[in-house]
Amino acid sequence: MIGKIHSIETFGAVDGPGIRTVFFMQGCPARCLYCHNPDSWPYDGGEKIEVEEIVHWALRGKPYYGGKGGVTFSGGEPLLQAKFLTEAMHALHKEGIKSAIDTSGTYIDDYTEDAIRICDLVLLDIKNPDPERFEIITGRKQETLYDLIDIINRQKKHVWIRHVVVPDINDTPEDMEALNEFLKKIRYVDKVELLGYHTMAVEKYGKLGITYRLKGVPAMDGAKLLELQKLIHKPSEAVSRAVL
């Protein structure tokens, strides 16, 4: 079976536990205001890849995975290719390699539950707890996220939450309390990562001829991010680095 990828990162250390091989899948239905990889949006972009190639790349990194590491499928929106992911993860499991899916919950189809069932961990990017602000940020309705959470809960999957914090958009104590309340909907939250917004992708938008809609918004202050992190009820981490 053939999938589409944007890029591959070896020795990744920020997209799940341990050392990981990260496959950034091509194609995404969302148009998030702060997306770091706008070139991953069109499904007709990227490169073709077969399941056997996924396994080949993953086996190269296996000596470094230890007991925690493995493969993460990110994007783009990996669940846009859930059927391919399911086949790839079956092949990885035969090699004793763990897998994670990093999703924004903006797309599901008939193959989504199979992919969630076989993965070992879900990294769930909560763009915003509020339905209206979610749609402003992503260009998508929030109902799909609720449907995905139902699947995650039904499959009893453990979840790492990722939440990008942007100045003057969702950087108040009230925003963190809204996030805390939203997380009650998810049964097995192991960790919450607050990711500080940055401006590293602005130049990329210019080269692609895409209007950057957060022009002029400064990078998130690291000290303030740490203060907001203290308000999260679940085990959490404040991360000032690249965001999705």
**Assigned domain for 13 exists:** yes
* Amino acid (1-letter code) at residue 138: T
Q: How many CB atoms lie within 10 A of CB 153?
A: 14
Q: Rounded distance, CA 74 to CA 52, Å?
A: 18
Number of domains the chain is built from: 1
CATH of residue 161: 3.20.20.70
State which residues form the domain around 217.
2-239
pLDDT value of residue 113: 98
**Assigned domain for 83 exists:** yes
**Assigned domain for 93 exists:** yes
Q: Rounded distance, CA 67 to CA 75, Å?
A: 24
| Cα diameter, the chain | 48
**Assigned domain for 165 exists:** yes
pLDDT value of residue 243: 42
pLDDT value of residue 240: 66
**Assigned domain for 128 exists:** yes
Mean pLDDT for each consecutive 10-residue tract of the chain (244 residues)? 97 96 98 94 95 99 97 98 99 98 98 98 98 96 98 98 97 98 97 94 91 94 96 84 45
**Assigned domain for 244 exists:** no
**Assigned domain for 209 exists:** yes
Query: Tokens representing 101?
Result: 């899916």
pLDDT value of residue 241: 54
**Assigned domain for 63 exists:** yes
